[in-house]
Structure 1
């Protein structure tokens, strides 16, 4: 019986193929760095591994035998809205691997906002020696909206700073490292006592604008908002107004409704706002983080087919 062909479409495709071949018998791995390379070998591949946002429609069309896509990302929205993708194709993601990098970005934004690091960089450009009091994270309260793997990773980093960690979730009522868990209906109460509100909740109809104008108004004027989830989780227009009106002290946004963020967006000129270009999930060891998840799923697929896979994404009907 011929080995099942797996197309690996990624800048590190060769490394993935070499390491997976050692750990996952019964597969023939096909590396492709460019779309052109992928199209040359796609016809007989039953499995596709790649970064979901960069998988083009042409590649899907060229894979009539496709049974399963192992996304090398957590977000798979691009694939879910692709009509060319057959309804019986299973999609899995790499949920669970992004805790270190996303939690570190959240800590970076908290410290940069509290200590006014952008102002220091601006002063450096003009050779201006200016000092001001430097707030500590110690004894501050951080409210994490969403209690998944990334939230737990962030809590594990905040607690050693001496921070008080709270959370907002309807799914979990008690989590190690969290002083208190609020229901989503209590988000304004949670925000009101926080010095930092960090949004890490999955995006969907129930979490659309979970942080809206009312939540922002409930926050302390000295508090900061950080969004590393999805742009739609936060009302961006309300954030601009809150910053202009001094309702909150500042914000750090890594995700936006439209990406790249339009040059005409009022966010660019909003005061006390740090914008990062959706880098939260990136790291200098991304392939090494994703590979064990891929290997585990490939071996599970070999043993039990699609029903044995982990991190299966529910596709819209």
Structure 2
């Protein structure tokens, strides 16, 4: 698979400048190849599953237990071939806010985001870990990153869909109990620059590899909150020092600084997985705003957000 003019145009699309500038063109090309591969893997599994179902209808085997047919709702979903696990979710509007909870979001390709759900609809947040380096760590591959800025998640989803048209972009939204994020550490200003320089900056000497002792308070925090960097690694590598990162924040559509919530400790990740069960929505950007699904707990009455939740008007 090469880089043709369509992919080049997609990566350089000016509508996604805020997102695109956070990585180099080559990094986005590699990300596109990875997204395409994951989509094809998912498609292969779905085709094989359909073939197995067809085989059972034609020549049922006594060793294979029949499964009940599942019909989609009429209308939009008639033409939508959703990932199988989404059949376990329920069409449900996502609220703007819920008492006692904070909404955190992650945008990207549908195939990757739905991988966070097991076949029974339960959560496996490890599937959402970000690949290193991230803004706040050079090597860790077990960091769980979200943003509270839904428009940033939507831009990531739309940019993914723009680069891989066969795949749909999606936004995954978690309603996280506020007590789970109350104990956190924030990083801003000079320390933000220094930590990001260590995580994503060039290695020019052994001193650049060693994390300064004053910054371990951030890398060891169970939950770290800070701005998202809007500068690509290749540009960071050309800076003389960390001070060149001053003000290099990703911006929202309203030109505010976009922030990220990084769940670093396994214990807090496990708590998030347990406490957010039944409080997760996934939205297809291709069918947005009509297509929003929620994974309810089995014992839930499909009204778990309660009257205290203020619903998104468009959903």
Give the TM-score normalised by structure 1: 0.24
Give the TM-score normalised by structure 2: 0.24
Higher relative contact order (CA 8 A, sep 6+): 2
